[in-house]
Amino acid sequence: MALFLSSKLRKAADTSLIEGRKNQLLNDHEEFIAFEQSEELQSFIELEREINSVDFKQNRKHIEAKSFKGSELERKEKELKRLLKSKRYRVYSSVHEGTELSKFEKMKESEDLVNYMELQAEVNSGKLTKKEDKEAWLLYKKLKKSSEIRVYFKFKHSKKHDIYFEVLASNLLQDIEDLKAELASEEFTSEKDFLLDKKRFEKTEAFNRLITYKELNESESFKKYFRFQKKNNFHLVREWELTFSEDFDNSKLDKEKWMTRYYWGDVLMNDDYALPTDAHIFSEKNITISDSIARLETKKEKAQGKVWDPKIGFVPREFDYTSALISTGKSFRQKYGLFEAKIKVSNIENVMHSFWMLSDTSLPHIDIAKTSPCGKLFPGNISGREDKPKVNHAKINGLDWTNDFFIYSLEWAPNKLIWRINGVEVYTQTENIPHEPMYLILSSGVSNPNSDVNAVMEIDWVKCYQRA
């Protein structure tokens, strides 16, 4: 089991790769949510609904099935041709375009025709005879032989005269003109071109919307969204809600978040103190921040401080070493959730570096990560009473904890504690689970006093989550 765990840890030893994957997942999830809530996607969904609707498909089928042949437009063209080829219109056109009509109209208004008609009436009535009025008779005969008058009456009594004036009195000419105007209109020619075009659907607004839909569907942003929609690990993000975050972006420690001494020393006497077994005293001077990394330094130097003695209280003492601690005792506490930090340590042979949790009393106590001089990591928890503690610790080896940053995390549920390093589960505890809110502590302290103590605990970030 130990060999298997060591193998898993070595595979997950590249912290930057692990963190990069997690950050990419977070960024992908944020991008996915932003796109999911965008107007662009809502418009696409509406467009997709339209494109896939029965009405759209039927409309497309209807447009593609259209044809000029058999259409109302073709019927009107044929109707115009029929009217133009009809005998009545051809007779009308020949008369209208010929000379007979103009001669007829000219003669109709002439004095000769009037005289002839008057004389003709007198002859027919018997009032005018050759014997009684020779001069008038001769005029009548002359006018009767007139070619213009003969042509006039020939046309007047002809079939084409009748047809011509019948056409004038009918709606035929108006029907023809209306059809000509309609067929010459931009609307008619446009519709005819549309019906004759085998690619007529491509000229429609519906086709433009279909192309827009296809282009969006093939665009990289939509492809990415649909890939995420089909397959993603967003449940790993969605199941947790961020409750505390520190990236150490400022040049100084944020005192709103962090204390730099034990909680009870700060609350009771506004001062720091050490435990009887401590060879060091905590000093705020040992805390520096640069390049978004907090550094807790442990070094050999003389310093004055107090030690807690259970019998007589706080006692002054001189220490040979100073170290550092940061705590959320006043700013943040949480019961259950996910607690993690990215940490790098040095000189674990002489200095114990700890990422741990505590409530208002010394127990229960959870070590998320605690180094030891033997090179092993001790994750675990301590419960029970101070005079009779219940200790549950694992011993994790297989990696050099000083070689790089590692992400140390604790998942705390009502019935289970799970410790992980770079996402690899290294220890699980189902007994003596704490059930009170606890705060975070990151600290270093001398474990093997000697003249060469000089160590640093580097903290890139700290994050806490609760179940969403």
Residues 6+ apart with CB under 8 A from 463: 242, 244, 245, 246, 339, 340, 341
Q: What architecture is domain 243-467?
A: Sandwich (2.60)
Domain boundaries, the chain: 243-467
Sheet (strand 388-393) strand order: 325-327, 439-446, 351-358, 365-370, 380-385, 388-393
Beta bridge partners of 273: none
* DSSP annotation of 202: G
Task: Give the per-residue pLDDT at 9.
Answer: 82
Task: Give the per-residue pLDDT at 445.
Answer: 95
Return the closest-CA partner of residue 335 out of 414, 420, 430, 259: 414
Alpha carbon distance 396, 55 (integer Å): 66
Return the closest-CA partner of residue 358 out of 336, 379, 333, 338: 333
Residue the block writes with tokens 């000189």? 347
Return the closest-CA partner of residue 409 out of 465, 467, 331: 465
Alpha carbon distance 69, 55 (integer Å): 25
Residue the block writes with tokens 């003492």? 317
Alpha carbon distance 219, 210 (integer Å): 14
Contact 296, 288 (CB under 8 A): no
CB atoms within 10 A of CB 180: 13
Q: Report how far apart, in Å, the C-alpha atoms of 392 and of each of 31, 195, 318, 377, 417 are.
A: 42, 85, 34, 13, 11
Contact 400, 14 (CB under 8 A): no
Task: Give the per-residue pLDDT at 3.
Answer: 59
What is the pTM for the complete model shown?
0.71
Residue 129 tokens read as 């005879």
Mean pLDDT by 10 residues, the chain (468 residues): 70 87 92 94 95 95 92 94 94 92 88 88 84 83 88 91 93 94 94 91 93 94 93 90 96 96 87 90 96 97 90 88 97 98 96 96 95 94 89 91 95 97 94 96 93 92 96
Return the closest-CA partner of residue 64 out of 190, 194, 189: 194
CB atoms within 10 A of CB 305: 22
